[in-house]
A = this chain, B = another copy of it.
Amino acid sequence: MSDAVSLVPAAKGAGGRPRSQQIDDALVAATLEILDEEGYPGVSLEAVAKRAGTTRPAIYRRWSGRTALVLAAVAARLDIPSPPDTGCTLCDIDESFNIFLGSYRTISPEVLSALYADCAPDPELRAQYLATIIEPARTAVGHTLDRAVDRGDLRETIDRDLLLDFVGSLIHYRAMFSPEHLGDAEAEHAIEMLLQGAAGDYPALVAHSEALEHEALSGTATRHHHHHKAQQ
């Protein structure tokens, strides 16, 4: 569980009866229970309120609606990951896969996809989803990658954010669309491909492509929509 800070939007003025923290907690807990037992579609505000021993208006006093409530509940369960730092780049990246996997292990991809779908149309909720669920893992793994670059283990010219996207997106994709999460053996394969590269001889591929491009420029029909920057 992360810090209890701001799971609930702050109350309005200072005066008056303060909100019950117990109700805050009970609502979040009830939401998580229902998510686990019945999934996202089972979360009706009536059901949440009933299980929490309170009523619907109490929810609306705290959140703008179902989506915001679920987002807060999910955030309450997620850990803030800390970046691996073993000094061994391969091991660190291996651990990084687990960091990305963390969200999907504790929440269930079905819930996350439904939650995101509801968040996406609203800029504020969408930003909150990204900040809560996507960013922490990226930040942690990002630090790890930075250290690997500092050590000189990764190419200097590397696009760090892109590498981050590759790792994060693969795990997200597999969580959503595959029957099973990425296993250890597959993770190792993935790391190998990312670090070693898929090409047998990359410079040769570039050379070939450029040769075709010149050929195309000199008047013939073959089309090449894709352009190469000069190799450094």
A interface residues, Cβ below 8 angstroms from B? 39-41, 86-91, 94-95, 109-110, 113-114, 116-118, 120-121, 130, 134, 152-156, 158-159, 162-163, 165-166, 168-170, 172-174, 176-177, 184, 186, 188-190, 192-202, 205-206, 208-209, 212, 222, 224-226, 228-229
Contact = CB atoms under 8 A, between A and B. Distances in A.
11 contacts: A88-B208, A88-B224, A95-B226, A110-B121, A113-B120, A117-B117, A159-B189, A159-B193, A162-B193, A163-B198, A188-B226
Given A88-B208, A172-B173, A173-B173, A193 B194 contact: yes
Contacts of A209: 88-91
B165 A200 contact: no
Contacts of A158: 193, 198
A168 B169 CA distance: 9
Nearest to A176: B116
Contacts of A88: 208-209, 212, 224
Q: How many copies does the complex hold?
A: 2
A189 B199 CA distance: 14
A206 B192 CA distance: 10
Contact of A202 (B121, B188, B196): B196
B110 A113 contact: no
A168 B165 CA distance: 12
B205 A195 contact: yes
A173 B168 contact: yes
Given A86-B212, A194-B194, 20 more contacts: A88-B208, A88-B209, A89-B199, A90-B208, A110-B120, A113-B113, A114-B117, A116-B117, A155-B200, A156-B200, A159-B189, A162-B186, A162-B190, A166-B170, A169-B173, A170-B170, A194-B198, A195-B197, A195-B198, A195-B202
